[in-house]
Structure 1
Amino acid sequence: MRFTDADPSAPLIRRLTLAVDESQCTLRWLWPESVEAVYVERLELDMMGDDRTGEQAAQGKLKLYTKEEYKASNGYMDRITGFGAIRYTVYVCQMEEDGPVLVRQRDGDNTVVASAGKADIRFSIRYKSGFFQKRKSVLMTVTTEAPVPKEALCYVRKQGGVPLNKEDGTVYPFVSDFAPGRNEMPPVEVAKDDYVRLFFTDGPKYGAAYRLISD
């Protein structure tokens, strides 16, 4: 499939909206008058760190959709299942002699993101120390419903009390991804009056795909 960047005269998709009813989502948008067909791209966003930069862009599944189909269904409908997020992009389709060309918009008006449900991340923290020791061991267990990248979580250490948020203490990263099921972290040594708690490194990004729950 060939793409071209939109120029000032190119027909564009406007006012793309998303409505979700349980597992059914409906996309609606304003069609340019001269456009009879579009391609709808569905991309399941990868939370495991496969980010692209610069001019590279991950490409999902493309589906041809005509204006007549749109009118008959009062929109474009799709089912969303599983965990994570799904990005939908609607491309104007221009027919040329050597095949269809999709118009790539830089303004983002032709893109929306749907939540496919949040996976639970449950964590528990225990402390182990002797009566006369100045330090103690922190035992952390993370149990997940789906794979979680190590970049999604961090733990915060605070002296004198449990941290209230990511900025309320010293932040430490995790060194490996979390597999579905129970993950026991290696013990961490801290001072006897230190306490730790887990947080998302980026709440808006990872909070769309996961729920962080303290057991």
Structure 2
Amino acid sequence: MRFIDAEHDSPVISGLTREVEEDMCTLRWIWPRSIDAVYIRKTSAEQTEPAAGDTANLKLYTRAEYKANNGYHSRIEGIGRYCYTVYACQEGSGGPQLVLQQDRGNSIEISSGRAKIYYTISDKSGFWRKFKTIQIQVTSEVPIAKDVLCYVKKQGGYPVNKEDGLLYPFVASFAAGRNVLPAIEVGKQDHIRLFFTDGRKYGQIYELISV
């Protein structure tokens, strides 16, 4: 089994749709006339296209099964965004060939609720010191990439959004569970809050909660 790039005459998947009901997702698509089977892969939405030769986590699904079940059914487990990719399968001289579609028309995303991210910010300062020490702690239900969150520093008050002060990125990703970040020093009148780097995008996946 191997992947091949789609050409103008390759069988490709089109019309891919999803229907989510409780913990079950149903996929339906238009089958090319020349194929009788597909391979389906479920990954996290952040994962890139598999490298050539990577055939892990692929499930064979036939046209007959699709017809009998009125689509492809998959149970949704956990929290976050997932991507389903349906690869048309054609027989070649070396065995099954799975068609990679550059238009991504054979991929679709689903979201299974929002994962909660809790954070606390504590500070310590001395009477004679010009600075105070800030300790950030992030506790998440799921792993988080480092570019999901940022922190913003503002003098004289708490920032109300990521544009309301100086924005700083995080340099490492967050593991599921409790993450205690290295302490940082800021001015005595500085205040810090955490924000999503892209609220519209990540606000659909995570819930950011200050505790």
Q: TM-score range by the shorter chain?
A: 0.7 to 0.9
Which letter maps to 1:178?
F
- Aligned sequence identity (%): 52
Partner of 1:143: 139
Counterpart Cα distance in 2 of 1:135 and 1:34: 70
Q: Is the CA contact 1:42–1:60 (under 8 Å) kept in the aligned structure 2?
A: no
The code of the aligned residue for 1:2 comes to: R
Find the aligned partners of 1:115 and 1:192 in 2 and give their Cα distance. 41
Residue 186 of structure 1 corresponds to which residue in structure 2?
182
User: Could you say if the C-alpha distance between residues 178 and 104 of structure 1 is closer, same or farther in structure 2, counting changes exceeding 3 Å?
Assistant: closer
State which of 152, 159, 162 in structure 2 corresponds to 1:163.
Answer: 159
Name stretches of at least 5 consecutive residues in structure 2 with no aligned partner.
Answer: none
Q: How far, CA to CA, are the matches of 2:162 and 2:17 in structure 1?
A: 33
Contact 1:44/1:87 (8 A) holds in 2: yes
Which range moved further: 148-157 or 176-185? 176-185
Secondary structure class of the residue paired with 1:70: helix
Local SS of the residue matching 1:161: coil
Alpha-carbon distance change, 185 to 103 in structure 1, aligned in 2, over 3 angstroms: closer
Structure 2 CA distance for partners of 1:35 and 1:59, relative to 1, 3 Å: closer
Shift of 1:86: 2.0
* C-alpha distance in 1 between matches for 2:40 and 2:175: 32
Question: Quick check: 34-43 or 168-177, which moved more?
Answer: 168-177
The aligned residue for residue 22 of structure 1 is: 22
Q: Once the 2 structures are TM-superposed, how far is the Cα of residue 108 of structure 1 from its aligned partner?
A: 1.0
Give the count of matched residue pairs. Answer: 210
Q: Is the 8 A contact 1:38 1:64 kept in 2?
A: yes
Which moved further from structure 2: 56-65 or 116-125?
A: 56-65
**What's 1:43 paired with?**
43
Determine the structure 1 residue equivalent to 2:98: 102
**Alignment partners' CA distance in 2, 1:97 and 1:133:** 75
TM-score w.r.t. length of structure 2: 0.85
Match of residue 64 from structure 1: 60
Contact kept, 8 Å, 2:152 with 2:167, in 1: the verdict is: yes
